[in-house]
Amino acid sequence: MASVAGEQETASFSIGAAMSDTIATVRAAPALFFGTSFLLGALPALLLRWFLASAATVATGAPILLAIVVYVLWMLCYMAAQAVLLRATVDRLDGAHQPLGATVRAALPAVLPLVAVSLIYWFAVSLGLVALIVPGVFVALIWSVAAPAVVAEGSGPIAALSRSRALTRGARGQIAGLFLLVIAIYAVAYALAGVVNVLVLGLPAVDTGQGVAGALTSVVLQVVLLPLWIAIQGVVYVALREAKHGPAGERLADIFA
Domain assignment of residue 255, yes or no: no
Instruction: Please report the DSSP string for 32-98 in residue order.
Output: HHHHHIIIIIIHHHHHHHHHHHHHHT-TT---HHHHHHHHHHHHHHHHHHHHHHHHHHHHHHTT---
Q: What is the CA radius of gyration of the chain?
A: 19
Domain assignment of residue 27, yes or no: yes
**Does residue 89 contact residue 25 with C-beta atoms inside 8 Å?**
yes
Measured over all CA atoms, what is the biggest interatomic distance in the chain, rounded to whole angstroms? 70
247: Cα separation from own chain's centroid: 23
Domain assignment of residue 2, yes or no: no
Q: What confidence tens digit (pLDDT) does each residue in 51-70 have?
A: 776 765 554 555 677 778 88
Of the pLDDT bands very low, low, confident and very high (cuts 50, 70, 90), residue 169 is very high
Domain assignment of residue 23, yes or no: yes
Is pLDDT larger for residue 177 or for residue 213?
A: 177
Q: Where are the beta strands (DSSP E) in the chain?
A: none
Q: What confidence tens digit (pLDDT) does each residue in 72-105 have?
A: 999 999 999 999 999 999 999 998 888 889 999 9
Domain assignment of residue 160, yes or no: yes
Spatial distance between the Cα atoms of 243 and 3, rounded to a whole number of angstroms: 5
Domain assignment of residue 257, yes or no: no
Q: What confidence tens digit (pLDDT) does each residue in 181-200 have?
A: 999 999 999 888 888 777 77
CA distances from 192 to 3, 11, 88, 236 (A): 39, 36, 29, 27
- pLDDT for the residue 109: 95
Domain assignment of residue 62, yes or no: yes
Spatial distance between the Cα atoms of 141 and 172, rounded to a whole number of angstroms: 6
Residue 3 has pLDDT above 90, yes or no: no
3 state SS of 139: helix
Residue 4 has pLDDT above 50, yes or no: no
**Does residue 63 contact residue 70 with C-beta atoms inside 8 Å?**
no
Within 13 Å, how many C-alpha atoms sit on residue 79's CB side? Answer: 21
- pLDDT for the residue 11: 62
Domain assignment of residue 4, yes or no: no
**What's this model's pTM, rounded to 2 decimal places?**
0.85
Residue 165 has pLDDT above 80, yes or no: yes
Instruction: For residue 27, give its domain range.
Output: 15-246
**Does residue 136 contact residue 125 with C-beta atoms inside 8 Å?**
yes
Number of domains in the chain: 1
